[in-house]
Amino acid sequence: MSELLETRLRTGIAQLGLTINDEAVAGLLRYLTGLVKWNKAFNLTAVREPEQMVVKHLLDSLSILPFAGDGSLIDVGTGAGLPGVVIAIVQPQRAVTLLDSNGKKTRFLKQMAAELELANVSVEQARVEVFQGQFDRVTSRAFASLADMVNWCAHLLAPEGRFLAMKGQHPGTEIDQLPAGFRVEAVHGLNVPFLPEERHLVCISRAQV
């Protein structure tokens, strides 16, 4: 990866107010290299230019870190590993499960986890409705509507866990359609460096009985 890409990544990290060590930055750039390489054959993402991948994939994923809390995390419909791989690289102490039903994408993720020696990552190929487990955080990026995400993934959420749903524009209509038993704790506007588009993170928990 070029110095330009590393500079853009480090500048964006600083603008997000994050502290990420050199080893993790190197890991992010190695993941980016793998994504660019595999994308040519497997069509993992519609974003083709590495410079745009830094912004729309790496920095976009990193922008939720201040709100991600602690504990185990599952990234449902993870696709190319966003935001799950990015979080796993910068938080190696955190157990991260990457879930997707697409075999090409999970093969890529297993290869990346091996190359980057991500001992904290588990890659699972399955439909979310049938996969079993309990997690402190359930993340998704443009995976489904909020109602569908909650309905399909409720069995994966630990009793005190949180859904972290990454959205573009403020999803007011989707929030109004949340099923009973769940509530929106907060909607955070995300300022992704170099990205002149809206981004929001919706944090959802079980409603108190």
- At 25-62, the pLDDT tens digits run 999 999 999 999 998 888 788 888 889 999 999 999 99
**How much is the pLDDT for 127?**
96
What are the backbone angles phi and psi of residue 191, rounded to the nearest 5°? -105, 95
Q: 11, exposed or middle or buried, with CB in 10 Å at 0-12, 13-18, 19+?
A: middle
What's the chain's average pLDDT? 95
**How much is the pLDDT for 102?**
94
**How much is the pLDDT for 143?**
79
> pLDDT confidence of 73, banded at 50, 70, 90?
very high
**How much is the pLDDT for 144?**
85
Query: Cβ–Cβ contacts within 10 Å for residue 78, how many?
Result: 26
d(CA 14, CA 9): 9
What are the backbone angles phi and psi of residue 98, rounded to the nearest 5°? -105, 115
pLDDT greater than 70 at residue 1: no
Average pLDDT over residues 123-143: 95
For the question of whether the overall pTM of this predicted structure is more than 0.85, the answer is yes
> pLDDT confidence of 13, banded at 50, 70, 90?
very high
Fold of 3-206: Rossmann fold (3.40.50)
User: Helix crossing, 22-42 with 103-115: angle to 10°?
Assistant: 150
Distance of CA 107 to the CA centre of its chain: 18
d(CA 79, CA 50): 17
